[in-house]
Protein backbone atom coordinates (compact mmCIF):
# COMPACT_ATOMS: atom_id res chain seq x y z
CA UNK A 1 0.00 0.00 0.00
CA UNK A 2 1.28 3.48 -0.81
CA UNK A 3 3.02 5.05 2.19
CA UNK A 4 3.61 1.72 3.89
CA UNK A 5 6.83 0.77 5.60
CA UNK A 6 7.91 -2.49 7.20
CA UNK A 7 7.36 -0.82 10.58
CA UNK A 8 3.73 0.04 9.71
CA UNK A 9 3.07 -3.42 8.28
CA UNK A 10 4.57 -5.07 11.36
CA UNK A 11 2.48 -2.87 13.66
CA UNK A 12 -0.72 -3.79 11.81
CA UNK A 13 -0.01 -7.52 11.74
CA UNK A 14 1.88 -8.17 14.97
CA UNK A 15 0.73 -5.29 17.16
CA UNK A 16 4.28 -3.93 17.34
CA UNK A 17 6.57 -2.34 14.79
CA UNK A 18 9.66 -4.02 16.19
CA UNK A 19 8.98 -7.21 14.24
CA UNK A 20 9.75 -5.42 10.95
CA UNK A 21 13.07 -7.29 11.00
CA UNK A 22 11.26 -10.63 10.68
CA UNK A 23 9.50 -9.42 7.53
CA UNK A 24 12.75 -8.05 6.07
CA UNK A 25 14.60 -11.32 6.77
CA UNK A 26 11.78 -13.50 5.40
CA UNK A 27 11.80 -11.53 2.14
CA UNK A 28 15.61 -11.23 1.92
CA UNK A 29 15.32 -7.49 1.35
CA UNK A 30 18.65 -5.88 0.41
CA UNK A 31 17.42 -2.53 1.73
CA UNK A 32 14.48 -2.82 4.16
CA UNK A 33 13.93 0.94 3.92
CA UNK A 34 12.78 0.59 0.32
CA UNK A 35 9.52 -1.17 -0.46
CA UNK A 36 7.12 -0.25 -3.23
CA UNK A 37 3.33 -0.24 -3.49
CA UNK A 38 2.28 -3.47 -5.16
CA UNK A 39 5.24 -5.51 -3.91
CA UNK A 40 4.14 -8.89 -2.56
CA UNK A 41 5.72 -9.64 0.82
CA UNK A 42 5.75 -12.92 2.71
CA UNK A 43 4.92 -12.38 6.37
CA UNK A 44 6.14 -14.96 8.89
CA UNK A 45 3.58 -16.37 11.29
CA UNK A 46 3.52 -14.48 14.56
CA UNK A 47 4.04 -16.26 17.83
CA UNK A 48 0.74 -16.83 19.55
CA UNK A 49 1.04 -15.14 22.87
CA UNK A 50 -1.50 -13.31 24.98
CA UNK A 51 -0.47 -9.71 25.42
CA UNK A 52 -1.67 -7.71 28.38
CA UNK A 53 -1.43 -4.08 29.40
CA UNK A 54 -1.90 -2.56 32.85
CA UNK A 55 -3.85 0.69 32.69
CA UNK A 56 -2.17 3.77 34.18
CA UNK A 57 -3.64 7.17 35.00
CA UNK A 58 -4.40 9.16 31.86
CA UNK A 59 -4.82 6.12 29.61
CA UNK A 60 -7.74 5.70 27.26
CA UNK A 61 -8.62 2.86 24.93
CA UNK A 62 -7.66 5.23 22.10
CA UNK A 63 -4.15 5.86 23.51
CA UNK A 64 -3.60 2.17 24.23
CA UNK A 65 -4.74 1.33 20.70
CA UNK A 66 -2.25 3.88 19.30
CA UNK A 67 0.53 2.25 21.31
CA UNK A 68 -0.18 -1.30 20.14
CA UNK A 69 -1.72 -0.87 16.69
CA UNK A 70 -0.24 2.42 15.54
CA UNK A 71 -3.71 4.01 15.35
CA UNK A 72 -6.41 4.87 17.84
CA UNK A 73 -9.13 3.72 15.48
CA UNK A 74 -8.69 0.10 16.65
CA UNK A 75 -9.72 0.89 20.26
CA UNK A 76 -12.89 -1.18 19.92
CA UNK A 77 -10.80 -4.38 19.54
CA UNK A 78 -9.43 -3.84 23.04
CA UNK A 79 -12.92 -3.05 24.37
CA UNK A 80 -14.38 -6.17 22.76
CA UNK A 81 -11.60 -8.42 24.11
CA UNK A 82 -12.17 -7.18 27.65
CA UNK A 83 -15.85 -7.80 28.28
CA UNK A 84 -16.63 -6.92 31.88
CA UNK A 85 -13.40 -4.97 32.38
CA UNK A 86 -14.39 -1.82 30.50
CA UNK A 87 -17.18 0.31 31.92
CA UNK A 88 -19.30 2.91 30.16
CA UNK A 89 -19.68 6.55 31.20
CA UNK A 90 -23.08 8.29 31.04
CA UNK A 91 -22.01 9.91 27.75
CA UNK A 92 -21.36 6.45 26.25
CA UNK A 93 -17.56 6.68 26.31
CA UNK A 94 -15.62 3.67 27.61
CA UNK A 95 -14.26 3.82 31.16
CA UNK A 96 -11.04 2.10 32.21
CA UNK A 97 -9.42 2.44 35.61
CA UNK A 98 -5.73 2.48 36.60
CA UNK A 99 -4.47 -0.92 37.67
CA UNK A 100 -6.89 -2.81 35.42
CA UNK A 101 -5.11 -5.46 33.32
CA UNK A 102 -6.43 -5.52 29.75
CA UNK A 103 -5.95 -8.17 27.09
CA UNK A 104 -4.50 -6.75 23.87
CA UNK A 105 -5.74 -8.91 20.98
- Ordered by where they begin, the domains of the chain are 1-47 (3.10.350.10), 51-104 (3.10.350)
Please give the mean pLDDT across all residues of the chain.
89
Residue 54 has pLDDT above 90, yes or no: yes
Query: What confidence score (pLDDT) does residue 42 get?
Result: 92
State the average pLDDT over residues 50-55. 89
Q: Are 4 and 37 in contact (CB under 8 A)?
A: yes
pLDDT (0 to 100) of residue 74:
92
Q: What is the pTM of this model?
A: 0.55
Nearest in space to 17 (alpha carbons), one of 75, 71, 56, 53: 71
Strand-pair category, 94-95 with 101-104:
unpaired
C-beta separation of 24 from 82 below 8 A? no
Interval 12-52: pLDDT, tens: 888 778 788 889 999 999 898 889 888 899 988 876 567 89
Amino acid sequence: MRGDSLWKISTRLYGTGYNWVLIAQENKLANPNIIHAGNLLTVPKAETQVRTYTVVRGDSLWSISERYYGTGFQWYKIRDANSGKVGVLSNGRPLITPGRVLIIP
